[in-house]
Structure 1
Amino acid sequence: MARVKPKRHGVVTDMTAMCDVAFLLLTFFILTTNFKKPDVEKIQPPSSISDKLLPETSLMTVDVTQDGRFFFQPVENGTERIQLLEAMGKKYGISFNSEERVAFAKVQSIGVPMNQLKSFLDLPEDEQKAYKSPTGIPMDSANKQVIDWVQQSLAINPEYKLAIKGDGATQYSKVKDLFEGLRDIDFYKFWLITTQEAGGK
């Protein structure tokens, strides 16, 4: 006698809960991720096999372009940024109004000498981002404004860390001036930003 086969029913899986979890995770990662800031100038760092990561907080950055111009990116802390601006203003005999302080708290990078900083901060925000400084911040044996930015930042918070991002084609003499300036203020520990070589681990 033939066996009667039971009728098969399709399995229905409710994916509503899975979709909710996926969107919650996506939202979490979008809100907590630190997006890479666009470079003020095009810089191609030299390659290395180092796999050490930069610290994510309390990091200030000095950028060195191929033609030897210097830019300084302060730590992203609005209150401490304003303290830094006031300290630099006191050192160079420049006073800043409240609008300029607010603009400095939001600025991505500084790439002008101190005597041009007020006029730079008075520019609209979109013009600040598009502005290409022909000189950058002075950094040579006679005028070490980059070092002053670093030193005044450390005076506000000694826990600040420094990363240097230089172009692979920058003349060594320019970077040497920076290293010697850091040595003069007894600051010896900093990160050099490089690109990962293809064969690196």
Structure 2
Amino acid sequence: DVAFLLLTFFILTTEFKQPDVEDIVTPSSISKSKLTEGDNTMTISVTKDGRYYFSPTNNPSQRVELLEKMGEKYNITFTEQEKTAFQNTQFVGVPVAQLKAFLQLPEDQRKKYKGSIPMDSANTQLVEWVQNNAKINREAKLAVKGDGGASYDKFKVLFEGLRDIEFYKFVLVTTEE
């Protein structure tokens, strides 16, 4: 009976890892350090075909503040329903101009949506998300999770964008060899 109670306790109290936006096969490395994902971790995901996704820190009020900051910059006002949807959305994968329509989709459709946040020399929305999230949460850490088959140029543009906003500390997510 005690074993059953312990098993039940662990099952009910365990927080499961959130699924990735898409299947991302990270490159291997010999690093032994582990990434401790938590409320202060924001993640950029780069897919094999070069699409960018951003997962902000997990604090609901900070997420709303982030959405409002991005809305101010692009002259977009979000409704309370859209703010609530953003709090519950695991990732952002659309340009800010399409964000209202994305947030109005049912949750199951948002999870399946295959878009990308713009990140090139002319449009740096991805690093704007990072910059604003870091201003709201000064403790925030950035993890970059990229598919091993993604183009080098996609990472180069991303890292140059991070350099331009003077965001130098981040971790690369890899798998152990």
Matched residues in 2 for 1:26 and 1:187: separation? Answer: 43
Matched residues in 2 for 1:30 and 1:83: separation? Answer: 33
Q: Secondary structure at the match of 1:183?
A: helix
Q: Secondary structure at the match of 1:141?
A: coil
Match of 1:34 in 2: 15
Q: For 1:23, give the aligned amino acid.
A: F
Residue 73 (structure 1) aligned with residue 55 (structure 2):
yes
Shift of 1:40: 1.3
Q: Secondary structure at the match of 2:43?
A: strand
1:133-172 equivalent positions in 2, closer than 5 A: 133=115, 136-172=116-152
Matched residues in 1 for 2:136 and 2:36: separation? Answer: 19
Deviations, residues 8-55 of structure 1 (Å, cap 9, x unaligned): xxxxxxxxxxx22x2333233224433121111121111111111112
Q: For 1:152, give the aligned amino acid.
A: N
- Closer, same or farther in 2 for the Cα pair 1:51/1:33, shift >3 Å? farther
Match of 2:25 in 1: 44
Identity %: 60
User: RMSD value over aligned CA atoms?
Assistant: 1.2
Residue 178 (structure 1) aligned with residue 158 (structure 2):
yes
Larger radius of gyration: 1
Matched residues in 2 for 1:23 and 1:186: separation? Answer: 52
Matched residues in 1 for 2:60 and 2:143: separation? Answer: 20
Matched residues in 2 for 1:23 and 1:50: separation? Answer: 37
Matched residues in 1 for 2:41 and 2:136: separation? Answer: 13
Q: For 2:95, give the aligned amino acid.
A: P
Q: For 1:139, give the aligned amino acid.
A: M
Q: For 1:43, give the aligned amino acid.
A: I
Shift of 1:125: 1.1
Matched residues in 2 for 1:153 and 1:28: separation? Answer: 35
TM-score of the superposed pair, with normalisation by structure 1: 0.84
Matched residues in 1 for 2:68 and 2:52: separation? Answer: 21
Length, aligned pairs only? 176
TM-score of the superposed pair, with normalisation by structure 2: 0.95
